[in-house]
Amino acid sequence: MKSFLRILAYGKPYGKYWPPYFFLSVFSVLFGIANYALIAPLLSVLFEPQTLRGIVERPEFSLSVTYVKELFQYYLGDIMNSSGVLKALIYVCVILLIATFLSNLTQYLSQRILVSMRTTIMQNLRSDLFRKISRLHIGYFHNQRKGDILSSISNDVNEVQNSVASSFHVIFREPLLIVGFLSMLFYMSPRLTLVTLLTLPVSALLIGRITKALRSGAEVSQGLLGKIVSHFEEAISGSRIIKAFNAQKYVQGRFETVNASHRQATRRLYNRQELASPLSEFLGIGVAAAILFYGGWLQYKGELGMSWPSFVVYIGFYWRVLEPAKAITKAYASIRRGMVSGERIFAILDVEPGIKKDPRALPLETFSKTIEYRNVSFKYSPGGEYVLNHIDLTIPKGKVVALVGPSGAGKTTLADLLPRFYDVHEGEILLDGTDIRKYKPKDLIGLMGVVTQEAILFNDTIANNISFGTENVPGEEIERAARIANAHEFIICMPEGYDTNIGDRGEKLSGGQRQRIAIARAVLKNPPILILDEATSALDTESERLVQDALTQLMKNRTSVIIAHRLSTIYNADEIVVMQKGTIVERGTHQELMDKGGMYKHLCDLQIFV
């Protein structure tokens, strides 16, 4: 119920939807009742005309169903007496058509209001989900399957829309129908209606057991669906490796195992869901048969208290009670299943931010002195091992500091702490003497440009990738950044120049071209602090030379932290920091470290900086 109300809250402001919807729904129910109520006079005209001809006195006005009924019968009898049975039939049929038209018109208009609210809910829910995912800390994605996240964004949101949001009209309109028709049933025969109501708890109990089983089945089904999406994502992103290792049969086998499990879980889920509707119908027919028998028995004894046309209308009213009851049962089963998807969505929306903003965060406009790592220790999970241990490092403004060491030494982690992709567990990182956790995160990251080993580009034009994150950038500025990054020459050779779409993750470009676009993006941002994470490690010699020239231009007059892979990148660094197992083991200039003959010289001799 809590999750359902949360979903409903995305439709605010309620005042825009509920008053007109309620108004139209009430009139739809009243006209619907009139439709069935008109069956009795229609039958009376055909089979008991003498009862209507005898009504010659106009009833006294009162706010009651009886007054409306007697007034209608008075006019009907008057028409029969003055114009005959045929005119009376036409009169009843015209009123029936008008009531039917008005009932369906008000129902349609009320549905339009719900459609507007439903689409608003889905728009707001998707926006909230995208906003949350775009702001989640990087560590969250390390602990989650990408397929589960993608499944929540697409399948779970669609499931909420199809099963929960689509059931709003059932939840809010059908109870009005039940109340309206039950009121008429009590008006016509309280005794018979009470017998009817005594059978309803049995139906509710049986159907409730089915819907309870739907929840657990939906949880299994949605979990397996996340795995299926993961397999598809891996098949797309890893297509080159799959073909290179001739592993199509292997990945197909893994997928088929999960796919078959999902089919079994979904089949059981749908079987239970489909059982709710026929079961409720069977129970309804059973109750209707009992009412017919009981009503016939009362009529036989002369205790029914209504004419046969009225009894036919009573049965019609009872069927109209069964229809919304059946719809509510089916909607409840659908909502129980959809709530599993809703809770998976809210599990993402409720993730606590890993990087918390200080309520009294300070603005940060410039960087003027030093960056200082002071006794910094870090681990990725509370129960894990420390990947950085008691790091002390000072980086003066305008200096280039290179981080080298074997794989797993903690180089990338040390650099990721600076823009607060993660927060330190012990110690502190100071920017101009102030802990970076006391600055506004947006201002902090605004001072930094990041170029990674894998150039992260987007399925957009070259110009938009270079100007990513900024607005209304003149074309001249984009071209200037591209020239500094040694990218302009190959860009103008593209089919549409700077307006060329580069495909998913920049697949239409070579590795060196992608890297130079990423560097141009950093140039355009013009940050005072630059982080280069093995920016040339995956390139061939020619591309490395072009990219290295671009990096040299980029690093001019900037404070730079370089995670080094090749000697050419770090040879002229102001300080080289050698790391091993999360600690700093050597530091100095290139020549100083070579003269020591320690780990750095060993790595240089091997030409390995990983």
13-33 pLDDT, tens digit per residue, is: 777 777 888 888 888 878 777
Q: Tell me how far apart the 2 most distant CA atoms of the chain are, in Å.
A: 124
H-state helical runs in 302-386: 308-349
The pLDDT of 404-418, averaged and rounded, is 86
What is the 8-class DSSP label of residue 57? S
**Burial of residue 325, with CB atoms counted within 10 A of its CB: 0-12 exposed, 13-18 middle, 19 or more buried:** buried
**Burial of residue 600, with CB atoms counted within 10 A of its CB: 0-12 exposed, 13-18 middle, 19 or more buried:** buried
Per-chain mean pLDDT for the chain: 77
Q: Is 443 left (phi over 0), alpha (psi -120 to 50) or beta?
A: alpha
More confident residue, 587 or 539: 587
- Residue 355 makes CB contacts below 8 A (sequence gap 6+) with 137, 420, 421, 422, 423, 441
541 pLDDT more than 60: yes
197 pLDDT more than 50: yes
State the Cα–Cα distance between residues 389 and 582, nearest whole angstrom. 6
513 is written with which tokens?
């071209």
State the Cα–Cα distance between residues 234 and 595, nearest whole angstrom. 47
- What's the pLDDT tens digit per position in 518-528? 888 888 888 88
Give the residue range(s) of CATH 3.40.50.300 domains in the chain.
Answer: 457-525
- Whether 228 and 259 have beta carbons less than 8 Å apart is answered as yes
More confident residue, 452 or 53: 452
More confident residue, 108 or 188: 108
H-state helical runs in 189-247: 190-198, 200-237, 239-244
State the Cα–Cα distance between residues 188 and 193, nearest whole angstrom. 9
Strand pairing class (575-580; 583-588): antiparallel
* Res. 610 pLDDT band, cuts 50 70 90: very low
Please tell me the predicted confidence (pLDDT) of residue 375. 92
- Whether 450 and 523 have beta carbons less than 8 Å apart is answered as no
561 is written with which tokens?
């932290």
More confident residue, 269 or 442: 442
Please tell me the predicted confidence (pLDDT) of residue 609. 44
- What's the pLDDT tens digit per position in 415-435? 888 888 888 888 999 998 889
State the Cα–Cα distance between residues 374 and 381, nearest whole angstrom. 21
Give the residue range(s) of CATH 1.20.1560.10 domains in the chain.
Answer: 2-349
256 pLDDT more than 60: yes
Task: Assess if CATH 3.90.1150.10 describes domain 2-349.
Answer: no
Task: Assess if CATH 3.40.50.620 describes domain 457-525.
Answer: no
- Whether 205 and 283 have beta carbons less than 8 Å apart is answered as no
> Whole-prediction pTM value?
0.69
Q: Which residue in the block uniquely carries the two structure tokens 């397999």?
A: 231
Query: Coil, strand or helix: which one is 585?
Result: strand
541 is written with which tokens?
């010699």
